Structure 1
Amino acid sequence: MNPVQKALWFVEGHLQNDLSLESIAAACHVSPYHLTRAFAATMGLSLMRYVRARRLSEAAQRLAAGADDILTIALDYQYGSHEAFTRAFRERFERTPEQVRAQGYLAELSLKD
């Protein structure tokens, strides 16, 4: 398995954990520099941008399924506050978490799978 595949596998298994470039690179047995370059060349975006997009996509799925507490979701996906999560969510999806939860479906959202 190449380092990018290892990174994807590791990230998917640890989305709710505190992830850093260094911890992911260590899990892949490569340097952060090498992983950064390889990931961007393969995926077309930075590794940490991918991590943020995946976390927000997972959060959106939970919200559309009717999750009650937005703060809990924010904390589960490593956002320090409701406000930080809402800001990142709105920037990514052009909707607030409350709107997605009320809508109850993910149509028109560009999820990162």
Structure 2
Amino acid sequence: MPKSLPVMDISAPICCAPLAAGPMPSDDAVELALRLKALADPVRIQMVSLLMGDPDLEMTASAIAAAVGISGGTASHHLNQLRGAGLVTSQRRGVNNLYRAEPANLEALRAVLNTCC
């Protein structure tokens, strides 16, 4: 069985040099791996893509579930994973949690993966 990654708070934007800058310190590599693990699911990628389409878009879990064709419980699970990685945020309004993309954190992740200057 593969070794599991440690539990860390990865909700803040990642802050490390791009991969092409040379060997990455172990702690930075773990933080990057945890964020990538949160995105390593086709449904989560669909969710982030949906929420990134409009930076001001806020959606309930049930609306996101309907848009990507999954159940509400499954959507909540995936959204919790994305929120834990800091890739989406949620805000309670009345009885609903409204989810939105966290563009700064997604941009920081993109910058680390960027191999071009």
Task: Give the TM-score band, short-chain normalised.
Answer: 0.3 to 0.5
Name which structure has the greater RCO, CA cutoff 8 Å, separation 6+. Answer: 2
What TM-score results when the alignment is normalised by the length of structure 1? 0.38
What TM-score results when the alignment is normalised by the length of structure 2? 0.37
Q: Choose between structure 1 and 2: higher helix proportion.
A: 1
